[in-house]
Amino acid sequence: MSDQKTNKQWQQELTPEQYHILREKGTEMAFTGKYDKHFEPGEYTCAGCGATLFVSENKYDSGCGWPAFDKSATDQGIIRTEDTSLGMKRVEVTCAQCGGHLGHVFPDGPRATTGERYCINSAALNFKQQK
């Protein structure tokens, strides 16, 4: 992780919702994020540091209420960590560059591709439209 910032610096750079999700491992309410039903061509970047995390070609409508992708843009861009919080066993995904919490990955994605569903908070992302 190259972006070593203090909590105060993160709070100054991020919105309160982005800070809660990226730095405090929060979750936005289902079906409220701006990228849930967003399907324009382009790439999704980390709202904390700008690293490219996902591309629109891998986004699909899972019906879960959060943006869903069947794979990340690169294997190096995401870190997977076991998460046993809330009495569940899940796999958390964080940005490899700044350590920001993005969401979780589940093994219930499209079987025709990876079989994985990256369930990602919209507030953890920015979008760069394809030109």
Q: What is the domain-level CATH number for residue 67?
A: 2.170.150.20
Decide if pLDDT at 33 tops 70.
yes
Q: Residues 1-21: pLDDT tens digits?
A: 445 899 999 999 999 999 999
Helix (H) or strand (E) holding 101: strand 101-106
| 59 SS3 class | strand
> What distance in Å separates the CA atoms of residue 121 and residue 131, rounded to the nearest whole number?
24
- Cα distances (angstroms) measured from residue 54 to each of 11, 18, 40, 84, 89: 24, 18, 13, 25, 24
Decide if pLDDT at 32 tops 90.
yes
> What distance in Å separates the CA atoms of residue 44 and residue 26, rounded to the nearest whole number?
19
Residue 130's pLDDT is what?
A: 85
| 62 SS3 class | coil
> What distance in Å separates the CA atoms of residue 119 and residue 115, rounded to the nearest whole number?
13
Residue 46's pLDDT is what?
A: 98
Higher pLDDT, 67 or 110: 67
78 in a domain, yes or no? yes
> What distance in Å separates the CA atoms of residue 92 and residue 85, rounded to the nearest whole number?
10
54 in a domain, yes or no? yes
2 in a domain, yes or no? no
Catalytic-labelled residue, pool 46, 95, 98, 119 = 119
1 in a domain, yes or no? no
CB half-sphere exposure, 81, CA atoms < 13 A: 16
Backbone phi and psi for residue 88, each to the nearest 5 degrees, phi listed first: -120, 160
Active site residue 119: yes
Domain range holding 110?
A: 7-129
Q: Residues 93-130: pLDDT tens digits?
A: 999 999 999 999 999 998 888 999 999 999 999 999 98
Report how many domains make up the chain: 1
Arithmetic mean of pLDDT over the chain = 94
61 in a domain, yes or no? yes
20 in a domain, yes or no? yes
The verdict on pTM exceeding 0.75 is: yes
21 in a domain, yes or no? yes
